[in-house]
Amino acid sequence: MSVLELDEVTKLHPGSPPVAALRSVTLCIASGEFAAVVGPSGSGKSTLLAIAGTLERPTSGSVRVAGVAVDAMADHELSAVRAHAIGFVFQQFFLVPTLSTLDNVANGLLYRGTPVAERRKAARVALDAVGLTHRLEHRPSELSGGECQRTAIARALVGTPAIILADEPTGNVDTAQGAEILEILWGLNATGVTVVVVTHNREIADTLPRVVALRDGVVESDVRRR
């Protein structure tokens, strides 16, 4: 069963001439996959992830998430799809500097309307899963880059999403911390979570079961191993 389906997705950004970030991309990610999206800077990787995650709408083509067509959905319906099905991880972490690690993660459940005590309880479990039980009351400025990204991963997984979409999750951390982040993503994948990771790091991509390569907004190759 596929959890993400892009059918002839084109994304044009306005300008003269307009920029085609994606050109008629058709891609299907099956439940339980762990896939990398690679390609040079500007090839459309972030756009692909944003459209797959319903953060952006395509100019044409259609998108299905967990088997459901999202094209005609209103913004509030898309928010609900994201809140229940998708966890996002970004290169820049996007943690709130004034909040503790615990509350940054608990905020991952805000859109669900979960009561605060329950949010914090789930946040503790998620932080335990990424090895940060000893950092609950720290602020992001008191954490290493790797710990910030692990916090962001905990925030992504606190709602037990079916899909994790990560855009250059190791882009701002050193090699050892990057390896830890990959380990965590492998662990999530082992529990059945579908993971799609954008990376320009070919060494990382080559360790993953599937590598989708983009160039100029087109799928240049799509290789599965194992």
Among 43, 46, 54, 151, binds Mg ion (CB under 5 A): 46
Instruction: Catalogue the E-assigned strands of 127-186.
Output: 163-167
Q: How far is the CB of 91 from ligand ADP (least distance, A)?
A: 10
- Give the 3-state secondary structure of residue 207: coil
- Contact of residue 61 among Mg ion, ligand ADP, none (CB under 5-8 Å per partner type): none
Q: Per this entry, what is the length of the chain? A: 226
Instruction: Provide φ and ψ at 90, rounded to 5°.
Output: -120, 155
Query: Choosing among ligand ADP, Mg ion, none, which partner's interface includes residue 39 (Cβ < 5 to 8 Å by kind)?
Result: ligand ADP
Q: How many CA atoms lie within 13 A of 124 on its CB side?
A: 5
Residue nearer to ligand ADP on the CB measure, 84 or 215: 215
- Count Cβ atoms below 10 Å from residue 60 Cβ, excluding itself: 12
Q: Which residues pair with 224 in a beta bridge?
A: 210
Nearer to ligand ADP, 86 or 213 (CB): 213
- Residues of this chain that interact with ligand ADP (CB under 6 A) are 13, 19, 21, 39, 41-47
- Residue 47 contacts Mg ion per CB under 5 A: no
Positions that interact with Mg ion (CB under 5 A): 45-46
